[in-house]
Structure 1
Amino acid sequence: MRTTVVDAARRALGPVGLTLPVSFTDALSIDLQREAVERLEGAGYHAVWTNEVVGGKDALVQLAVLLAATRRMVFGTSIANIWARQPQTMHGAAAVLAQAYPGRFVLGLGVGYPQQAADTGREFGSPLAMMRDYRDRMDSPTSPPAPDVAYPRIIAANGPKMLTLAGEIADGALPAGGPPEFTAQARQALGPDKLLVVGLSVIPGGDRDRTRALAREWVSGSLRLTWVAAALARLGYSEREISEVSDRLVDAIVAHGAPADIAAKVREHLAAGADHVTLMQPIGTDLSVGVDQLERLAPALRDVTSRGNDHRIG
């Protein structure tokens, strides 16, 4: 049964999607968001992902509006934050979307951060234990019950233990911000029957030196998190490469430059085992600017295929 859910999601998502540009400082007009996804669907993209923290917006309400604004586009949460709602409510809302828009919804779950737990008056605890408990309680009986409909459930996982857990209790995983070598490790950890969605940071532009400089700023920011540096060291990047944020490291993590360069990096992740790659622009990217860039990228991505399967943009 769950294998069928994964296979259907692979077909629906195709190899490439995008994460809607987001801001953590401004409330984006829902009218502009509707216009954006209509344009992106017209450009040939099949899938859009949206994020969630705690408060300010509800990712599932947002997707209900955007699903209604499009005809065939698939939407996913990357991620729906477990601190934003109770597990039974998460499942109930997700099931309604899956029932209303068959084959067009993927639920990505994430544990978020300690401050987000504190903002809701709860203890963060062990991320692994929290995710396991949350996933278990999603299917607890309620009155009235949630719609009896299947939908893909994947877990944000950037570490080996969370990847293992995702393979055990979910339909797959959603790692983000890693090089293709990490995608290969994630596929090995999950096995062939799970959905692997990979978040790929992108900075489009014709001046490769400029886009690499911007990409280096992005990578430098992520390296402030000690676990990121540790993960890169496990992949074989040297202490010097990490401390100096080398060109090799930047180019491995961020797809930057011309559309052909970005398409090539997408292919690397697909070849490493990703089912679907979602393009993530820098936080704070203006929505209209981001959509313009993504529209220009679309032609280069039309010929991107996943392991020989004939899934294309457009």
Structure 2
Amino acid sequence: MSTLGTTGVFLPVPFTGAVPLARQREAAVRLERAGYGTIWTNETVGGKDALVQLAVLLAATERVAFATGIANIWAREPEIAHGGAALLADAFPGRFALGLGVGYAQQAEATGREYGSPVETMRNYLSRMDGPMMPPAADAQYPRILGANGPKMLALAAERADGVLPAGLPPEFTAEVRKLLGPDKLVVVALTAVPGDREHAKAAVSMRLGMPWFTKAMARLGYSTDDVDGVVDATVAYGGPESIGAKVREHLAAGADHVTLMPVLEGEFLDAVTQLEHLAPALP
């Protein structure tokens, strides 16, 4: 099974443009050298296959683990997802984890399929991943982690997955997730990290503040999204390296096994990697 380490980071590849693989390889080597336990990569539908991307980056590095955060279930059939993940786990033992997410209705529609109930859609996807295949997939184990913030998807993760990846919520939520999943499941937290002041942090999460799921989740934890400063302080790691490291430690103390940073960085791709190298020594 994969060893994620305590702290990871999303490779700062934007959704809006392609980064040449030579630069991605360089970035992966530098982030491995900086001490991050896992490098995560994003995915939507089309333009990039996260499993192929990680195959290239795994081959370019020696020790660091890689994980999809999150592989979109509409990008590939479940049998293909399991076959590709098992092949990577076989080729790079202990260095790969598969994060899966149900995405959005428009992504399903773009592939000509019906979104349906997110939880039942994911349940059926997992069942097909575990079903018979011809030819059979490689006989290799890898952690299967579900992207989830809502109670129903969290419950499905507790039942059918190796762990869960909630994003953008405070340490109190991490504690609730640990209680729900128990001691034996992986709790991975995606934490927005902004190397700037509170005003920069507000700008980075402004869209989230208007999302109904976020408003509802924060209200249940005792926060009002009208108190923007309070919400930002609770959910974003911002400031200098020590402040960002302190927020990571809050989630670890609340029960997270691994915290991966979702960096909001300035400059070109490799400039962003330099910023992440500077941050790494302050992280647990």
| Same fold, judged at TM 0.5 (above) | yes
Is the counterpart of residue 56 in structure 1 residue 47 in structure 2?
A: yes
1:262 aligned residue? 244
Q: 1:128 aligns with which of 84, 94, 119?
A: 119
2:226 aligned residue? 243
2:257 aligned residue? 275
Contact 1:22 1:284 in 2 (8 A): no
Cα offset, 1:22, TM superposition: 2.3
- Structure with greater contact order relative to length (CA < 8 Å, sep ≥ 6): 1
1:135 maps to a residue whose letter is L
Runs (5+) with no aligned partner, structure 2: none
Is the counterpart of residue 40 in structure 1 residue 26 in structure 2?
A: no
Cα offset, 1:20, TM superposition: 0.7
In structure 2, the CA distance between the partners of 1:73 and 1:228, relative to structure 1 (3 Å rule), is same
2:272 aligned residue? 290
Q: Secondary structure at the match of 1:13?
A: coil
- Larger displacement relative to structure 2 (282-291 or 160-169): 282-291
In structure 2, C-alpha distance between the alignment counterparts of 1:97 and 1:259, rounded to whole Å = 33
In structure 1, C-alpha distance between the alignment counterparts of 2:103 and 2:264, rounded to whole Å = 19
In structure 2, C-alpha distance between the alignment counterparts of 1:284 and 1:298, rounded to whole Å = 17
In structure 2, the CA distance between the partners of 1:184 and 1:92, relative to structure 1 (3 Å rule), is same
Which whole-Å deviations, capped at 9, do the CAs of 1:158-209 have from their partners, x for residues lacking one? 111111110100001001111111111111111111001100000114xxxx
Q: Secondary structure at the match of 1:148?
A: coil
Q: Secondary structure at the match of 1:53?
A: coil
2:68 aligned residue? 77
1:198 aligned residue? 189
2:158 aligned residue? 167
Contact 2:45 2:107 in 1 (8 A): yes
Cα offset, 1:244, TM superposition: 4.2
1:141-152 paired onto structure 2 within 5 Å = 141-152=132-143
Contact 1:117 1:124 in 2 (8 A): yes
1:307 aligned residue? none
Cα offset, 1:285, TM superposition: 6.5
Cα offset, 1:283, TM superposition: 8.2
2:208 aligned residue? 222
Contact 1:23 1:285 in 2 (8 A): no
Q: Secondary structure at the match of 2:128?
A: helix
Contact 1:204 1:256 in 2 (8 A): yes
Cα offset, 1:94, TM superposition: 0.3
Which whole-Å deviations, capped at 9, do the CAs of 1:33-92 have from their partners, x for residues lacking one? 000011111112221000110001000000000000000110000111000000000000
1:251 maps to a residue whose letter is D
In structure 2, C-alpha distance between the alignment counterparts of 1:43 and 1:250, rounded to whole Å = 27
2:226 maps to a residue whose letter is S
In structure 2, C-alpha distance between the alignment counterparts of 1:91 and 1:109, rounded to whole Å = 11
In structure 2, the CA distance between the partners of 1:218 and 1:78, relative to structure 1 (3 Å rule), is same
In structure 2, the CA distance between the partners of 1:225 and 1:283, relative to structure 1 (3 Å rule), is farther
In structure 2, C-alpha distance between the alignment counterparts of 1:276 and 1:285, rounded to whole Å = 27
Q: What is the TM-score when the length of structure 1 is the normalising length? A: 0.88
Contact 1:175 1:197 in 2 (8 A): yes
Contact 1:201 1:253 in 2 (8 A): yes
Q: 2:281 aligns with which of 296, 299, 305?
A: 299
Which whole-Å deviations, capped at 9, do the CAs of 1:196-234 have from their partners, x for residues lacking one? 1100000114xxxxx211111223210221111011000
Q: 2:8 aligns with which of 12, 17, 33?
A: 17
Q: 2:220 aligns with which of 225, 234, 237?
A: 234
In structure 2, C-alpha distance between the alignment counterparts of 1:91 and 1:285, rounded to whole Å = 36
Cα offset, 1:286, TM superposition: 3.4
In structure 2, C-alpha distance between the alignment counterparts of 1:283 and 1:170, rounded to whole Å = 32
1:309 aligned residue? none
Tell me the percent identity.
63
In structure 2, C-alpha distance between the alignment counterparts of 1:116 and 1:286, rounded to whole Å = 28
1:227 maps to a residue whose letter is W
Misfit runs of 4+, over 2 Å? 282-286
Give the count of matched residue pairs: 284
Contact 1:24 1:283 in 2 (8 A): no
In structure 2, C-alpha distance between the alignment counterparts of 1:170 and 1:283, rounded to whole Å = 32
